[in-house]
Amino acid sequence: MMKSVSPDAISKMMANPSPDSSSDDYPEIVVQVLDLKLTGNSRFRFVANDGKMKLDGMFPSSLSSEVNSGNIQNLGLIRIVDYTLNDIPLKNKKYLIVTKCEVVSPPLEAEIVDVVKNEEAGILLKPKQDMKVKSHMQGPDIILKPKQETFTKSAAQIFHEQNGNMAPSARMGMSRRVHPLVSLNPYQGNWTIKVRLTNKGNLRNYKNARGEGCVFNVELTDEDGTQIQATMFNESAKKFYDRFQLGKAYYISKGTLRVANKQFKTVANDYEMTLNENSMVEEASEEGTFIPETKFNFIPIDQLGPYVNNSELVDVIGVVQSVSPTMSIRRKSNNETIPKRDITIADESKKTVVVSLWNDLATTIGQELLDIADQSPVIAIKSLKVGDFQGVSLSSLSRSVIVVNPETPESKKLKSWYDSEGKESPMASVGTGLSPSSKSGGRSMYSDRVSISYITSNPSLGEEKPVFFSAKGYISFIKPDQSMWYRACKTCNKKVTEAIGSGFWCEGCQKNDDQCNLRYIMVAKVADASGEAMLSFFNDQAETVVGCSAEELDSLKSQEEDGTPYQMKLKEATWVPHLFRVSVVPQEYNNEKRQRITVRTVAPVDYAAESRFLLEEISKIKGSH
C-alpha cells in the first residue's frame, strides 16, 4: 500500500493549536515536507503539505540531527507526534512548531496534490471548462484540471472561515497545555511552561546612562532537561526575587523571548526570557512534580584549551585522581575567607585537569569525594569556568552541578576504560606542553601574539586587570644563584616551614608531615628579535624549560662542590625556542613600579603550525597595502 498524507491534516492542526499528545483521541497527522531549508540559528524551516493546504513550519534545534542525518528529507513524509501552532504578530498567519515527529517515508517523486473524487461513482468530478481526455482503457473518463484554475487558500484563511462564527467563549475554551521549552520562540503568543528553578542569581544594583535599577537572573529547567535563562529588572525583580526559591517548580506565563546574547548566556538555548510585572509565576505544588534531568554537553579534557578565559561555560566528566583537603582562601575584595578544595580528574585522552570547588561544593560533595577517592569515582560536572592557571584549570560557580558516579553511557564507558587500562596509563596535565593545534588549545598560543618589546614598552598594561599575550622566544639566561625552588606540602603544594622537633608544618592543611616536595619558582630572561624581559616561572612551566624536576636539579647541585653538573643543566636549557603564554600585571618593588610577567603555559615550537601562522600574517600585511 502506497504511503500518503492524512486527509485534512492541516485543518485538524488548525482546529486544535495546542493538543494533548498523550490523549487517546490525538489525531493521525501525516504531512509531506516541502521547501526544507536551514535558517541562520541551526534550525530548519519547511512547508507542511497535506495535498489540500500548506502551512509554514519549523523543526527546533533538537530535531536538526534528524535532518542532518538524512532521516527527514524534502518531499518525504513525517508523522507529527507533538506540535504547537503560533500566531505571527501583525499577520493573519499561523506558524507550525514540530516538537516531536516520526519519519514515515523517504522522499517521494513529486509534491502530493489533492484530487477530488465522487464517493458514489468513484470517478473524478468534472469542473466547468475542464478538458476531457479519453482513456485507452475501459472505464470512466479522466479529467485534467487546467492549472490556471488551481489556487490555494492559506491555512489561516480556512481556519478563520471554519471557526470565525464561534462564540468568543467557545474559542477561548480550546484547551491550553504546558509547552516544552524547546518549542518556545519570540513569535509565540500565549504560552505556559512548567519548570524547576535550578539556579538563582543575586539581586544586583546597576547604574548606566539610562539611570539606576536592579536586576537578577534565574535558570529554569523543564522535565526534558531543556534550560533557559530568565531575567527580571527593577519592579519585576523586586516582585519575583523572594517568590523564586531554588529547587521549587513553577508554572510561568506572559513572559517575552528574544535571541540570547552569546556573550552573556549561561545555558545552552538560542533564546532568553524576560519576565515583567504582568508575568504570571505560580508555584507547582501538586504531588509528583517532575524532577528535571540534568543534561550534559561534555568537553574532553584535551579540548579545553580554546575555552580558556572564555565566557562560555563547559561540562566535563572524568575519573577522580586526587582530592585535596579543604583550604581557606581570603578574598582580596572584602577580606572574606571562603573554603576551596582542588580535585584532579582524568579522561580517555590521558590528560588531567584540576577542578577547584568553592564554598558549599568544597565542604559537602568535596568531602564526599575525599572519603571515596581511593575508589576512583567518576564525576560529571556541569557549568565550569575555564581559567589559565597552570595552563588550563577549571573552577566551580554557584550554578555548577556535580553528579557522582552518574548512570550514563559516558560514565560507564569511562569507568570501563579506566579499570581496564587507564589506571596503568601515564597521565599528563592538559596545561603542560600545550599543543599549538587549534583543537587542543593552541588557540591561546597563536591568538594575541606580540613581541617582547611590545610588552616592555607599554608599562600600563594590566593596570585594571591582568592581560594575556602569546610570544615566541628563547631562554637567554637563568641566574644560577637564585632561589629556584621552595619546600612544598605534598598535599596542597603550599610552602611549608620546618616544624619544631622534626618534619614540616603546612599552614594550609594545618598539619605536620615527615616529608615535603621541592617545587620550582624561578626567574629567567627571555629574548626574541625585538628585545628581552625577565619572566617568572612556576613549577610545571619551569620543569618544561629546564627539563627536569626541582628535586632532580637540587640533586645535581649537591653532587659536586663546584656545581658543574648543575651549571651545565641550566646552560642546556638556554637558546631553545619556546611558545609562551604570559600574563602581565604592574607591581611595586622598593617604591618602583615595574611589570610582572608570568608564564602560564609553555609549549615547544611546532614548525609546521608556526609556518602557517607566519604565512597568515604575511597575507594580512599584503592585504593591507
Q: So what's the pLDDT on residue 153?
A: 45
Cα dihedral 377, 380, 383, 389, rounded to 10, equals 40
The total of other beta-carbon atoms located within 10 Å of residue 91's CB is 10
**What distance in Å separates the CA atoms of residue 546 and residue 573, rounded to the nearest whole number?**
5
For position 342, what pLDDT does the model report?
Answer: 93
Cα 387 to Cα 296, 307, 453, 499: the distances in Å are 20, 8, 26, 35
Mean pLDDT score, 107-113: 85
Other CB atoms within a 10 A radius of the CB of residue 229 amount to: 21
Q: How is residue 496 written as a grid cell?
A: 611549608
Q: Are 95 and 58 in contact (CB under 8 A)?
A: yes
- For residue 525, what pLDDT is reported? 96
pLDDT at position 538 over 60: yes
Cell 601574539 belongs to which residue?
449
The predicted structure's pLDDT at residue 128: 38
C-alpha cell at 616: 597568515
Whether residue 220 contacts residue 255, with contact meaning beta carbons closer than 8 Å, is answered with no
Average pLDDT over residues 361-365: 89
What mean pLDDT is predicted for residues 577-598? 87
Q: How far is CA 294 from CA 251, 365, 382, 383, 427, in A?
A: 19, 17, 9, 11, 29
| pLDDT band with cut points at 50, 70 and 90 for residue 294 | confident
Residue 105, all three cell numbers: 517515508
69-73, 76-80, 136-140, 385-389: segment of lowest average pLDDT = 136-140
For residue 102 the three cell numbers come to: 516520526
pLDDT grade, residue 352 (50/70/90)? very high
Residue burial 493-520, b: 16+ Cβ < 10 Å; e: rest:
bebbeeeeeeebbbebbeeebeebbbbb
The whole-angstrom separation of Cα 554 and Cα 179 is 66
**Domain 181-283 in the same topology as domain 9-105:** yes
Of 468, 466, 472, 467, nearest to 451 by C-alpha is 472
Report, as an integer, the average pLDDT of 229-233.
93
Split at pLDDT 50, 70, 90, the class of 89 is low
* CATH of segment(s) 301-428: 2.40.50.140
Higher pLDDT, 120 or 532: 532
**What value does the mean pLDDT take over residues 252-276?**
85
Over residues 571-585, the mean pLDDT reads 92
Q: What is the pLDDT of residue 381?
A: 93
- Give phi and psi for 181, each to the nearest 5: -60, -35
Residue 616 has φ and ψ, to the nearest 5°, of -65, -40
Confidence of residue 467 (pLDDT cuts 50, 70, 90): confident
Secondary-structure class of domain 452-484+521-612 per CATH: mainly beta
What pTM value is reported for the model?
Answer: 0.46
* Residue 158 and residue 50 in contact, taking contact as beta carbons nearer than 8 Å: no
CB 534 within 8 A of CB 589: no
pLDDT at 620: 79
Residue 320 has pLDDT above 90, yes or no: yes
- The mean pLDDT of 141-149, rounded to a whole number, is 40
Q: For 61-65, 187-191, 292-296, 584-588, which range has the lowest pLDDT when averaged over its residues?
A: 292-296
Strands 94-105 and 54-59: parallel
Residue 286 is predicted with a pLDDT of: 65
d(CA 237, CA 247): 18
**CA quadruple 446, 452, 457, 463: dihedral, nearest 10:** 50
426 CB neighbour count, 10 Å cutoff: 5
Which residue has better confidence, 581 or 335?
581
What residue spans define the domains of the chain? 9-105, 181-283, 301-428, 452-484+521-612, 488-514
Q: Which residue has the higher pLDDT, 374 or 464?
A: 374
Domain 181-283 of CATH type 2.40.50.140: yes
Residue 411 CA to residue 405 CA, distance in Å, equals 7
pLDDT tens, residue by residue, 46-65 = 999 998 889 988 888 778 88
- DSSP category for residue 589: E
9-105 folds as: OB fold (Dihydrolipoamide Acetyltransferase, E2P) (2.40.50)
Q: Is the pLDDT of residue 200 over 60?
A: yes
Residue predicted with more confidence, 75 or 432: 75
pLDDT band at residue 169 under the 50/70/90 scheme: very low
pLDDT at 147: 39
Q: Taking the CA atoms of 373, 375, 376 and 382 in sequence, report the sign of the dihedral they define.
A: negative
- Name the pLDDT band for 290 (thresholds 50, 70, 90): low
State the pLDDT at residue 289. Answer: 61
End-to-end CA distance of the chain: 68
Q: Rounded to whole angstroms, how far apart are CA atoms 398 and 215? A: 17
CA-CA distance, 189 to 177, in Å (whole number)? 13
Average pLDDT of the chain? 81
Question: Residue 184 pLDDT > 60, yes or no?
Answer: yes
pLDDT at 166 over 60: no
Q: What is the pLDDT of residue 16?
A: 84
- What is the 3 state secondary structure string of 169-194? HHHHCCCCCECCHHHCCCCCCCCEEE
% the chain with pLDDT above 90:
32
Residue 130 has pLDDT above 50, yes or no: no
Most confident option among 31-45, 126-140, 227-241: 227-241
What's the CA gap between 556 and 32, in Å, rounded? 78
Range scoring the smallest mean pLDDT among 8-17, 32-41, 483-492: 32-41
**Lowest-confidence region among 18-22, 294-298, 355-359:** 18-22
pLDDT at 154: 46
Question: Residue range 157-184: average pLDDT?
Answer: 54
- Asked if 238 and 248 count as a contact pair (C-beta separation under 8 A), the reply is no
Does residue 562 register a pLDDT over 70? Answer: no
pLDDT at residue 436 greater than cutoff 50: no
Euclidean distance between CA atoms 197 and 191, whole angstroms:
18
